[in-house]
Amino acid sequence: MTDRTRPTGPGTEPAAGTEPATGTPPVAGTPPAAATDPAAGTPSQTLVSGTTRLYAVLGDPVGQVRSPGLLNPLFARLGIDAVLVPVHVRPDDLETVLRGLTRVGNLDGLFVTVPHKTAAARLADRRSPTVELTGSANALRPEPDGTWLADNFDGSGFVAGLVQAGHRPKGAKAALIGAGGAGSAIAAALLGAGVDRLTLTDPDTPRLTALADRLAAHWPGRVHAAARPPLSDCDIAVNATPLGLRPDDPLPFPPRQLPPGAVVADIIMKPHDTRLLREAAAHGLAVHHGHHMLAGQLDSYRAFFGLDRP
């Protein structure tokens, strides 16, 4: 993916201007005015024009993605003439679509969601240390030399959201179900945040073993792979699988087996209250919703994509 040199980034676009008088076209090269929420009186989303920079989030499905609702208002608030759109890409088409998008001259970044995070990491020209460790990526940006750099903020965002909600991982015994793209990043971040023991579970045994081995090389004695999570002796249990996206999905684990005081976290963002979280709450357990992980990544995205540059 080395087919272009990065154009002027979104942070160098002029601030969103004032809507011209009716019938007067905007001056060429200036971004259009932002749409305004009448109730709040603040910009809700920048309107699209010929100068708009593009970002895309790739997934299969994409109906559940929440990043456009978080990033597009941010672009408007910062006066950045850019828009983030969802792109539905099936796994067999990912390489073709990804390589095609990197040829788009006004594309300044990509977000990646289920199930493409591992494949996106392999397709990137360069990988951050986090991506090298976890084998997954959720954000890619073009570099000045035309290459594309992959990074992953799922883990740091999850831990930030967990801490902000008052659930501190340091010294905890954690069970993580799902060793895929998001799960691998969350596993590394939980270990980095000081969990005393992390048990990983995934039906894909080779993937599970490979991740446990990579993590154990950095955090020896604290990582364990298991066919079933030790829920009865667990402080934090995390669902990092897609189970819960559909109403007829089975539970990723039975929350009733957790001890009182345990926290049940689900990274699924839509529906807001998954079946897992509803049943955990019914058993009197603390629950942690998926939107916290995305909100916890916002500052990292701003830094990675240079959204605060004047």
The set of catalytic residues is 117
What gap in Å lies between CA 186 and CA 175, rounded to an integer?
Answer: 11
Structure tokens at 153: 């903020």
DSSP SS3 for 253: coil
Strands 139-142 and 107-112: antiparallel
Strand partners, 174: 198, 236
Of how many residues is the chain composed? 310
Q: Which long-range contacts (CB under 8 A, 24 or more apart) does 162-168 make?
A: 162/236, 162/263, 162/265, 162/288, 162/292, 163/193, 164/292, 164/296, 165/288, 165/292, 167/236, 167/263, 167/265, 167/286, 167/288
* DSSP string computed for 40-78: TTEEEEEPP-TT-EEEEEEESS-TT--HHHHHHHHHHHH
State which amino acid sits at residue 285: L
- Angle made by CA atoms 249, 251, 256, in degrees to the nearest 5: 155
